[in-house]
Amino acid sequence: MLKKTEEILRRYRFLSDALADSAVIADVPLWRSYSKEHAELRDTAEKYEEYLAVEKEMKDAFEVAEAETDVEMKKLLTEEGYSCKERLSTILGELRVLLLPKDKNDEKNCILEVRAGTGGEEAALFAAELCRMYLNFCAAHRLKVEEIDVAGTELGGVKEAVYSVSGAGAYKLLKYESGVHRVQRVPATETQGRIHTSAATVAVLPEAEEVEVEIKEKDIRIDIFHSGGAGGQNVNKVASAVRITHFPTGIVVTCQDERSQLKNKERAFKVLRSRVYDHYNGQSEKAREENRRNMVGSGDRSERIRTYNFPQSRVTDHRIGLSLYSLDAFMTGEIDEMVEALTIANREALLASEENNG
């Protein structure tokens, strides 16, 4: 591990010098490339520099203590040496975390999709609540959310909602939400007070760039139609809604939020690229098995990941066995404690995997 950090520090120092070189500064693409790599290596390089400094302090303290004749001074220097040794152990742990393989999609924008599952209108109402929960969470983290397409119901539920989420670490913050979310509660329409179980499905897809996904013109069909509101009534006399069908995968994307046909088309292509990217890169059996070994959840949208129990005010994440008894706050978007717990569990699983393979 230390050999690897030594190489990272060497590369980091080279890049630091290069970024100050006038020839590199004049070459804008090269400067951007170096600058990005420099930023990616910074935390690890600086942590290793701290390790080297503390290691030197430890060696110096023990060496001076060995030659010291004054008993009290010898004791103080020895204690300082052991204190440095403990700090080294802590820094090594931090370096292990920094050296873990990073998810290449973490800093990307993402597509958030919420769909009503089993449970009829109650499932649609729950899906609408999940949408509000995520919108509030995104707002608290200063993420920008754009509505791509929302198909509502007459009672205020959501059959399907698709959003584009952009901002620093958007995918990293939301990626563990993919899966089946189950709700247990007494629906407003229930007259006998019986608890019903319904479900909604959430998918979080990293936003794919055009260079990452090639969508050929011959592989798609684009349909233009009139936008519709809840219940199917026409709300736009201009045919601006766009539906794109991708034949190789069978993926269909609809966007009717904007009045501009061009904007709807742009947004629909954004979603299509992300879904196609997810289809080819994240849905193969090999990728799923790798995810199951290394992560807290597979990201498989058929996997039940969480239960929202309203009578007990409890939300339980089944992947890590964590229950929180603050459901009201959770549903208003205060899901940070759960996100942090899932992140830590994933990190620990990766560390264990690294040690087992090590």
Q: What is the pLDDT along the chain (358 residues), one digit of tens a residue?
A: 788 899 999 999 999 999 999 999 999 999 999 998 999 899 999 999 999 999 999 999 999 999 988 999 999 999 999 999 999 999 998 898 888 878 888 888 999 999 999 888 999 999 999 999 999 999 999 999 999 888 888 888 999 999 999 998 999 999 999 999 999 998 876 667 788 999 999 999 988 876 577 788 888 898 888 766 544 444 445 567 888 999 988 889 888 766 778 888 888 888 888 888 888 776 544 544 454 444 455 444 567 899 999 999 999 999 999 999 999 999 999 999 999 999 999 888 888 877 666 5
Q: Which residues pair with 220 in a beta bridge?
A: 246
CA 299 – CA 347 distance, rounded (Å)? 16
Cα of 243 vs its chain's centroid, Å = 27
| Element housing 307 (H / E) | strand 304-309
CA 276 – CA 214 distance, rounded (Å)? 9
The residue count of the chain comes to 358
Closest CA to 156 of 121, 205, 113, 182: 121
Tally of CB atoms within 10 A around 8: 20
Using N-to-C axis directions, what is the helix angle for 2-18 and 28-67, rounded to 10°?
Answer: 130
Closest CA to 222 of 256, 250, 248, 254: 254
The model scores a pTM over 0.75: no
Q: According to the model, what pLDDT value does residue 227 have?
A: 65
Tally of CB atoms within 10 A around 137: 22
Label residue 315 exposed, middle or buried (CB < 10 Å: 0-12, 13-18, 19+): buried
Residue keyed to tokens 């590199």: 24
E-strand ranges in 227-299 read 241-246, 251-255
Query: How distant, in Å, are the alpha carbons of 118, 120, 329 from that of 198?
Result: 6, 8, 20
CA 278 – CA 239 distance, rounded (Å)? 30
Question: Could you give phi then psi for residue 305, rounded to 5 degrees?
Answer: -110, -25
Q: Which residues pair with 181 in a beta bridge?
A: 200, 306
195: left (phi over 0), alpha (psi -120 to 50) or beta: beta
Q: Give yes or no for a contact between 158 and 127, defined as CB atoms under 8 angstroms apart.
A: yes
Q: Find all residues with CB under 8 Å of 208, minimum gap 6, and list them.
A: 273, 274, 276, 277
Residue keyed to tokens 């152990």: 89
Tokens of 50: 């701290």
CA angle, residues 311, 113, 186, in degrees to nearest 5: 20
Q: According to the model, what pLDDT value does residue 2 have?
A: 82
CA 338 – CA 317 distance, rounded (Å)? 8
Q: According to the model, what pLDDT value does residue 322 have?
A: 96
